[in-house]
Amino acid sequence: MPILFLRKWAVNPVFLLLEKLAASASDIATMYAASITLSVGQFCTNPGLIVGIESEPLQRFIHDLGKAIQKTEPEKMLHTGIAAAYTGKREAALMQDNVHLIAESSHSVDQPEIKALPTVATVDAKTFLANPVLHKEVFGPYSLVIRCADGNEMLEVAKHLEGQLTATIMATEADIINNDELLEAIKNICGRLILNGVPTGVEVCQSMQHGGPYPAATDSRFTSVGADAIRRFVRPVAFQNWPDSLLPDELKESNPLGIWRMVDEEWNNRELKEESR
* pLDDT, position 209: 79
Three state DSSP letters for 116-143: ECCEEEEEEHHHHHHCHHHHCCCCCCEE
* Tally of CB atoms within 10 A around 119: 27
Q: Where in the chain is the domain with CATH 3.40.309.10?
A: 14-195
145, β-bridge pairs: 50, 122
Q: Which residues pair with 103 in a beta bridge?
A: 120
How far, in whole angstroms, is CA 194 from its chain's centroid?
Answer: 9
pLDDT, tens only, 203-215 = 787 777 788 888 8
pTM for the model stands at: 0.84
pLDDT at 8: 61
Q: Higher pLDDT residue, 211 or 257?
A: 257
Q: C-alpha dihedral over 189, 194, 197, 201, to 10 degrees?
A: -80
Exposure string of 213-252, with b = 16+ CB inside 10 Å and e = fewer, is beebbbbbebbbebebbeebeeeeeeeeeeeeeeeeeeee
Of the candidates 144, 199, 191, the one whose C-alpha atom is nearest the C-alpha of residue 169 is 199
Architecture category of domain 14-195 in CATH:
3-Layer(aba) Sandwich (3.40)
What confidence tens digit (pLDDT) does each residue in 99-116 have?
A: 999 999 999 888 989 999
